[in-house]
Amino acid sequence: MHKMNKKITGAAVITLSAVMLSACGSPEGNIQNHWSEAAGAEEEFSEKDKKLTQLAKEEQNVFENLTSYENEEQKKIKSSIEKAVSSVKERKELMEEEKEEINKAYDEAMEAGEPINNLENEKMTKKAQQAQQAMEKRNEAFNSVHGAYTEAADKEIEMYESFTDENLELESLEKHLDKINSSYKKVESFRDSFNTETKSFNEAKNAFEEMVEAES
């Protein structure tokens, strides 16, 4: 029998600013402050991501138990279904919370747009714009993660509820699994893009901060 492939790589977060400008009213200082606030908006993101991974691992055990029960073990089947569906719903809620954090961080980072336009140093301007572009792509990627993840979770709930059918056939179950695994492959792909853009943002942000520090 096929297995559910819920291997989800951890998501990267924005690094906190290493340099804070004393002249915080300057364009450079305002940019750094907005980026720092964006990082702060994701303060709980990593913990939520760990919880998502843990719940997915526990569900895998529940799923394996479900496939081993005989039809006459209806009480065990029902209990396992309820546990699995509850866990999936909890993961969906966590994903919603992650999306809110990412979008909040994005909105905060975009506030740096005006002070970036007021920069006088051309190299700083270019590096700051690179960071903003990466942030835009990063946000788009996570919204795609959210969509694919929600799609996969809904299909999982549908699959678990199918176990109440005593005449459930292996072929039908495997079709469910193929659809779920396909959705999780999309999640992984979008997560990879998200992590790549996070890295790009952090690199551009750090380079910008080094320029600021060099001129201070």
DSSP string of 82-147, one letter each residue: HHHHHHHHHHHHHHHHHHHHHHHHHHHHHTTHHHHHT---HHHHHHHHHHHHHHHHHHHHHHHHHH
The pLDDT profile of the chain, 216 residues, written as one tens digit per residue, is 456 666 555 678 888 665 454 455 799 999 999 999 999 999 999 999 999 999 999 998 998 888 888 777 888 889 999 999 999 999 999 999 999 999 999 999 999 999 999 999 999 999 999 999 999 999 999 999 999 999 999 999 999 999 888 788 889 889 999 999 999 999 999 999 999 999 999 999 999 999 999 987
Burial (CB count <10 Å: 0-12, 13-18, 19+), residue 47: exposed
What whole-number distance in Å separates Cα of residue 186 and Cα of residue 193?
11
Angle between helix 45-66 and 74-110 (nearest 10)? 160
Model pTM score: 0.90
Q: What is the pLDDT of residue 9?
A: 55
